[in-house]
Amino acid sequence: MSITTELTNRLHGSAGFRTDYQITTKRIWYSYREIIDIFAEILAVIKDMNSAEIIIIGGGAAGLMAAAGAAATLGGGARVLVLEKMQRPGRKIMITGKGRCNFTNLKAWNEFSGHVHPKPNFLKPSFYNLSSEKMIDFLTEHGMESVVERGDRAFPASHLASDVVDALVRAAEGAGAEILCDKEVKQIATTPVGSRNDAKESEGFRVECGDGSAYECKKLIICTGGLSYPKTGSSGDGYEWAKELGHSVRPLFPSLTAIVPKGYKDFSGKGHIHRNEPLSEVGKMLCGNQLKNVELSIMIDGNQSQNEFGDLDFTDGGIEGPIGFKVSRKCVNALVNGSKVTAVLDLKPAVDIEDLTVRINTLWNEISKDKRNAQKLYKDRFRILLTKVLPMSLIQGFMKYHPNADHKTLPKHLKGWKFEIEGYVGYERCVVTAGGISLDEIAPKTLESKLVPGLYFAGEVLDLDADTGGYNLQTAFSTGYLAGVSASKQIATSLRSSQ
C-alpha cells in the first residue's frame, strides 16, 4: 500500500477529521491544530511502513526458512520482513553441489549427528523440530519434487538448485513474509520496542541499511552466513554485529576446502594459498585424477587424527573430493594453530600389505618371464607393472613423489603415499565457515540469545558446521525454521496479552 493510499484511508476514516473551507476563494483552510495532526499521521504511516514485528537479516537457506516458519506461525497477524543485500535471495544455494544442490541427507539423527561439528547436540532440538524427512515434505508441499541418491543424499528431481530457491521463496512469501532485496544492513542497535508510543515494554531493534532506509522490529533474527564464497554476499557482517551486541565469536577458519600438499603449487609459503595460484609441475601431473575407494589418513604432529574411506580428487586447488573435504576441517584448524600436518593416501585399502606384496611379486614375475620383455630395461618393465596397479593418468605424478620406487618397495608406497600439507584454499572457494558465534550464549531450544532478549541466530553464522553430503544445508534449514517459529510464538503471546 502506498503512503498516499494509506493516508487517505486514515484521514477520511477518522471521526475527528474535519475540513473548513471557503468555496468563494477556492482555498482549503486548515487550522494549526489540524496541520499538526496531518503531519503526525504522515509520520505514523512512514514509521509503520519501516517497522515489523520480526526482521530477518539474510535471505539464504536459514533466512528463508526463518521467514517461512515465522510467517506461517503468525498466520498473517504480524509483519515478517527479510532484508537481503544481494539482488535476489538464495545466491549461495544456487551454486551448491555445482548447481545440483544436495539439500539434505536422510540419515537418522544418531548417524546424522556424527557429521556435525563441534557440538552436535546443540542442533538436536532444531533437527527434531524440522528433520530431513520433514524438509523434503516441506519442499514437496511448495512445488518441488526430490530424489534420493547414493549416501542418502537428497536432490531436487530436476537437479537444479534454482528449484530449491524458488520453493523456499514461495513458502516464505506464500505465508505472508516480505523479502526486500538490495538491502545491505550496515548497523544494528537496540531500541525500546514501544518508542513509537512511549511504552518501554522491552528491548527491540533498529536496523539501518546502506541506502539510507531504517527499520524497527521487536524480534531480530541474524542469518547472514559465514565468510565462504564472498561473491554470494557472505562477508562476515553477522559476526561483527554479534560482537557489538555482546556475543563472543569462536575462531573462524575455512572448512570443506582443498588442502594443498607441499610443492603442489608454484607458491612458497604456508597457510592460505589462493586457488588461483598456478600449479607446479607435479601439481599439473596430478590435477584431474579422480580416485575411487581409497583411504586417507591425517597425521597431526605425528599422531593419527582422522581416517576416511571413499573418493578423492586432485584438482587445481589441491586434494578435494568427498574424503578430502571431510579431513579438511581438522587439517586447516591444525595448520592455523601451527601444527605439522601429513596426509597418507592408501591406494589399495581393500588388501593388507602382505597380500599386496604377494600380488605384485606375482605380476613382476609374469612380466619378467614374458619373452616380449626380455630385452627391455628395468625401468620399462617396472612401468608395465605400474600400469597394472595404477591408473595411467596417475603414474607420472606418483613417480614424481617416489623417484626411487622399485617392484620391492612399490607395495609400501601404494599403501602409504605421504603428502606434507602446507596450506589450504581459503574463503574464496571453501564450502563452509567453521567457527562462529559461541553456542554457549544461545538457547538451543529456541536459538534466542541468552544475552539479548529478542535476538536470534541461525545457520552458518553459528559455531556449527558439518560435513559435505547435505548436512550443512539441513543444519541451516533446521536452525532457521526453529528461530523463526520461536520468535513468532513470542510475538503471538505478546499480541494476545495486549488484547
pLDDT in tens, 315-349: 999 999 999 999 999 999 999 999 999 999 999 99
Total domains, the chain: 3
**What per-residue confidence (pLDDT) applies to 27?**
45
**What per-residue confidence (pLDDT) applies to 320?**
97
Task: Please check whether residues 82 and 151 belong to one and the same domain.
Answer: yes
Task: Please check whether residues 76 and 131 belong to one and the same domain.
Answer: yes
pLDDT band of 266, cuts 50, 70, 90: very high
**What per-residue confidence (pLDDT) applies to 226?**
97
Task: Please check whether residues 269 and 203 belong to one and the same domain.
Answer: no
**What per-residue confidence (pLDDT) applies to 49?**
62
What is the average per-residue pLDDT within 388-396? 97
Lowest mean per-residue pLDDT among 159-163, 266-270, 368-372:
266-270
Lowest mean per-residue pLDDT among 96-100, 115-119, 445-449:
96-100
Task: Please check whether residues 231 and 350 belong to one and the same domain.
Answer: no
- Please write the tens of the pLDDT for every residue from 42-94: 444 444 568 999 999 999 999 999 999 999 999 988 999 999 999 999 999 99
b/e per residue, 5-21, with b = 16+ CB within 10 A?
ebbeeeeeeeeeeeeee
**What per-residue confidence (pLDDT) applies to 37?**
55
Task: Please check whether residues 118 and 219 belong to one and the same domain.
Answer: yes
Q: Which of 430, 451, 474 is the last residue of a domain?
A: 430
What is the average per-residue pLDDT within 254-269? 94
What mean pLDDT, rounded, does the chain reach? 90
**What per-residue confidence (pLDDT) applies to 22?**
43
**What per-residue confidence (pLDDT) applies to 268?**
79
**What per-residue confidence (pLDDT) applies to 495?**
77
Q: If we measure between CA atoms, which residue out of 335, 211, 204 comes closest to residue 273?
A: 335
**What per-residue confidence (pLDDT) applies to 7?**
46
pLDDT band of 102, cuts 50, 70, 90: very high
Higher pLDDT, 25 or 62: 62
**What per-residue confidence (pLDDT) applies to 25?**
41
pLDDT band of 9, cuts 50, 70, 90: low
Task: Please check whether residues 418 and 449 belong to one and the same domain.
Answer: no
3-state secondary structure the chain: CCHHHHHHHHHHCCCCCCCEEECCCCEEECCHHHHHHHHHHHHHHHHHHCEEEEEEECCCHHHHHHHHHHHHHHCCCCCEEEECCCCCCCHHHHHHHHHCCCCEECCCHHHHHHHEECCHHHHHHHHHHCCHHHHHHHHHHCCCCEEEEHHHEEEECCCCHHHHHHHHHHHHHHCCCEEECCCCEEEEEEEEHHHHCCCCCCEEEEEEECCCCEEEEEEEEECCCCCCCHHHCCCCHHHHHHHHCCCCEEEEEEECCCEEECCCECCCCCEECCCCCCECHHHHHHCCCEEEEEEEEEEECCEEEEEEEEEEEECCCCEEHHHHHHHHHHHHHHHHCCCCEEEEEECCCCCCHHHHHHHHHHHHHHHHHCHHHCCCCHHHHHHHHHHHHCCHHHHHHHHHHCCCCCCCCHHHHHHCEEEEEEEECCCCCCCEEEEEECHHHECCCCCEECCCCCEEECHHHECCEECCCCHHHHHHHHHHHHHHHHHHHHHHHHHHHHC
- Beta carbons within 8 Å of 150's beta carbon, 6+ residues apart: none
Task: Please check whether residues 455 and 365 belong to one and the same domain.
Answer: no
How many beta carbons lie within 10 A of that of residue 68, not counting itself?
Answer: 30
**What per-residue confidence (pLDDT) applies to 16?**
43
* Residue 219: CA count within 13 A, CB half-sphere: 30
**What per-residue confidence (pLDDT) applies to 493?**
87
Task: Please check whether residues 450 and 354 belong to one and the same domain.
Answer: no
Task: Please check whether residues 10 and 78 belong to one and the same domain.
Answer: no
Percent of the chain with pLDDT strictly greater than 90: 83
At 329, give phi and psi (nearest 5°).
-60, -50
> What whole-number distance in Å separates Cα of residue 410 and Cα of residue 422?
25
pLDDT over threshold 80, residue 199: no
What is the average per-residue pLDDT within 164-184? 98
Q: Which of 430, 450, 465 is the last residue of a domain?
A: 430
Task: Please check whether residues 77 and 37 belong to one and the same domain.
Answer: no
Higher pLDDT, 192 or 279: 279
pTM equals 0.87
Q: Which of 413, 430, 447 is the last residue of a domain?
A: 430
What is the average per-residue pLDDT within 431-452? 98
pLDDT over threshold 70, residue 123: yes
8: domain range?
Answer: 3-49
**What per-residue confidence (pLDDT) applies to 77?**
80
pLDDT over threshold 70, residue 20: no
Task: Please check whether residues 299 and 227 belong to one and the same domain.
Answer: no
CATH of the domain at 68: 3.50.50.60
Lowest mean per-residue pLDDT among 26-35, 234-243, 307-316, 456-465:
26-35
Task: Please check whether residues 95 and 218 belong to one and the same domain.
Answer: yes
**What per-residue confidence (pLDDT) applies to 191?**
84
pLDDT band of 32, cuts 50, 70, 90: low
pLDDT over threshold 70, residue 35: no
